[in-house]
Amino acid sequence: MAKKKSGLGRGLGAFGLPEPLQNSKNDKKKVQPVSPSDEDVSIQEIDISKITVNPHQPRSEFDEDALKALQESIKQYGVLQPVLVRKTPKGFELIAGERRLRASKLAGQKVIPAVIKEYNDAQMTEIALIENIQRENLNPVEEAHAYHHLLTDYGLTQDMLSKKVGRSRSHIANFLRLLKLAPGVQKKLINNELSMGQAKPLLIIEEDSLQEKAAEFIISNDLSVRKVEALVKQIVKHPDFFEEKESDPKGHDTDPATLYLLEAEDKLKMFFGTAVRIKGSGKRKKLEIELSSQEELERILTLIADKVTMQDNATKLAKLREYSTKGKFSV
């Protein structure tokens, strides 16, 4: 079965360039050298010492082990994918392929295969970003900075950027929001200590120091995204959340399981419209619903009955739809 291509618009092909090859340590013998494309991409060897790096390279973190593996591959097979450069008065400026350039230097190579193109600064940044996204090389913060650079320095709108890099506007907007996180939280994203799903809820917390304390707590307790959301809600309600826990044993409980129960209590309070408490220790829990009159009890019983009826109807409808795909009638 043919491998599915990345959904990044036309990718590097839009710039008249060959698509990136996979050059993994375990698949060296399957990789074939790039040949010029139908659009007459000319590949030539140029002096490595004459190449300066792209100042707008989105990627700032390079895995040392991966570089060493590529270095060994280059020693044995050479550089199988050319780098992309543009001509400058002093030599060449790298547009894409910094990892290959670094590994080639480590391998002691004097020259490197390259495609020379004429691009402006904006196009350079776009190409470097697209290449890194296609190879899934960027961490979330690097990707966010690349989007921000294209939007602010080259006057692109989010809609224009979306079409250029093949990402939805909501995708771009979500990444840009990460730049509003506290510096310490962004660092944890870069180091892969936090996932994007764990980090995004922290945007609701306004204080950087509180965001960073929450991030430490999330990591040390390995909280799921749902439990992170519950934690953030408690912090927003009680900005002194962590201080109370440290100074008063009876303060707000920061146990992850308890945080989840507090979130459940909030949802039940909204549903029933009255005070609700979940009590108990260990696996056994007791649900208490506060009532002030017989009428309130009747109201809550009606709510429960209506909810059960709705669920029953939804279940029946789902079964009918399932049957309709196999039976003789449709709903």
Active site residues: 98
Query: How many residues make up the chain in this entry?
Result: 331
End-to-end CA distance of the chain: 36
- Provide φ and ψ at 115, rounded to 5°: -105, 125
**Of 313, 14, 317, nearest in space to 163 by CA:** 14
DSSP state of 283: T
SS3 track for 19-61: CCCCCCHHHHHHCCCCCCCCCCCCEEEEEHHHEECCCCCCCCC
**Of 276, 263, 181, nearest in space to 223 by CA:** 263
User: How far apart are alpha carbons 207 and 210 in whole angstroms?
Assistant: 5
Q: How far is CA 287 from the centre of its chain?
A: 38
Radius of gyration for the chain, computed over Cα atoms and rounded to the nearest angstrom: 28
3-state helix, strand, coil in the chain (%, to 5): 55, 10, 35
User: How far apart are alpha carbons 261 and 156 in whole angstroms?
Assistant: 45
* AA letter at 38: D
